[in-house]
C-alpha cells in the first residue's frame, strides 16, 4: 500500500511539473508571438523622397556664334512684348533670364524694367556671360547683372525675382527638376515663371509640353496658364508657372 501511495505521489508531482513546464512554454510562445506581431505591425521606414534626376535625353547647349539670335523678326514672331505683359514685367520689376544665351531677352527685359528694375542674366557658359556684359556696356544697361549658374542651380539671390523666363532653353537643361526647385527660394510672392519651347524628344532641341508639366509639378510648381501664339517663331507652347499654394 505504501509503495502505491509513494508511486501515486511521484506520478502526481511529475504531472504537475509537466503542466507548469507546458504553461511556461505556452506563455513564452505567446510572448514571442506578441513581440513578432509588434514588429510586423511597426510602421515601415518612410519611403525616400522622389528622385529629382530625370531619365530622358537632353540637347547639347549651343556653343556657336551668339549673334545668330539677333534676327530682326524674332521679337515680332515671338510676340515678346505680349510675353512680358503676361509675366507682368514692368518698370521697377526684377527679372531672371535663365539660359540667357546672347542676352536677347535680357536686353529687352532690361529696357522695360528701367533703371529701378533689374535683370539677372543666368548662364552656365562664361563665354555667354562675357558676351552679355559687353552688350550691357555697349547698350548702356546698368540694370543687367550676369550670374554664373550651375547645371542644377540658377544661383539667384533669395527673394529677388518677380518673373523668370526660360526661353528655348528648357530642353538643354540636364537637371530641370533641380533647377526649378533651386529657383523657388529666389522667387518673390506671386512671382511667375515662363517656359517657351517646342515639342520634341529632348535631344532634338525640343521637349514635349506634357514632360515639362510633369517635371514642374515634381519641383513644386503649378500650371497657371498656357499659350500657343508663338507658332510664327516655331515654338509650340508658352507655359506660365506659379508656386504651388
* pLDDT per residue as tens digits for the range 1-16: 444 444 444 444 444 4
End-to-end CA distance of the chain: 93
Look at 4 and 129; give whichever has higher pLDDT. Answer: 129
Phi-psi region of 219 (alpha: psi -120 to 50; beta: other; left: phi over 0): alpha
Q: Where are the domains of the chain?
A: 1-47, 66-243
- Closest C-alpha among 35, 13, 36, 32 to residue 24: 32
d(CA 59, CA 231): 21
- Model pTM score: 0.77
> How many angstroms separate the CA atoms of 211 and 242, rounded?
17
The yes or no reply on domain 66-243 and CATH 3.60.15.10 is no
Mean pLDDT, the chain, whole residue set: 83
Q: Which residue has the higher pLDDT, 57 or 233?
A: 233
Amino acid at each position: 500500500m505504501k509503495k502505491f501511495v509513494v508511486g501515486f505521489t511521484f506520478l502526481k508531482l511529475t504531472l504537475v511539473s509537466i503542466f507548469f513546464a507546458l504553461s511556461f512554454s505556452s506563455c513564452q510562445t505567446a510572448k514571442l508571438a506578441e513581440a513578432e506581431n509588434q514588429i510586423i505591425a511597426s510602421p515601415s521606414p518612410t519611403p525616400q523622397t522622389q528622385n529629382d534626376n530625370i531619365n530622358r535625353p537632353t540637347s547639347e547647349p549651343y556653343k556657336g556664334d551668339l549673334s545668330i539670335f539677333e534676327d530682326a523678326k524674332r521679337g515680332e514672331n515671338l510676340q515678346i512684348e505680349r510675353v512680358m505683359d503676361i509675366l507682368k514685367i514692368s518698370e521697377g520689376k526684377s527679372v531672371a533670364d535663365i539660359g540667357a544665351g546672347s542676352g536677347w531677352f535680357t536686353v529687352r527685359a532690361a529696357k522695360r524694367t528701367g533703371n529701378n528694375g533689374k535683370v539677372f542674366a543666368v548662364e552656365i557658359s562664361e563665354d555667354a556671360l562675357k558676351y552679355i556684359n559687353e552688350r550691357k556696356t555697349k547698350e548702356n544697361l546698368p540694370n543687367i547683372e550676369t550670374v554664373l549658374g550651375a547645371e542644377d542651380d540658377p544661383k539667384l539671390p533669395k527673394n529677388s525675382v518677380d518673373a523668370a523666363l526660360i526661353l528655348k532653353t528648357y530642353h538643354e537643361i540636364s537637371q530641370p527638376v533641380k533647377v526649378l526647385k533651386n529657383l523657388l527660394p529666389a522667387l518673390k510672392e506671386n512671382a511667375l515663371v515662363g517656359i517657351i519651347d517646342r515639342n520634341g524628344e529632348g535631344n532634338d532641341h525640343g521637349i514635349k509640353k506634357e514632360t515639362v508639366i510633369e517635371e514642374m509639378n515634381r519641383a513644386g510648381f503649378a500650371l497657371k496658364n498656357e499659350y500657343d501664339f508663338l507658332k510664327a517663331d516655331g515654338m509650340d507652347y508658352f507655359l506660365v508657372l506659379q508656386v504651388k499654394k
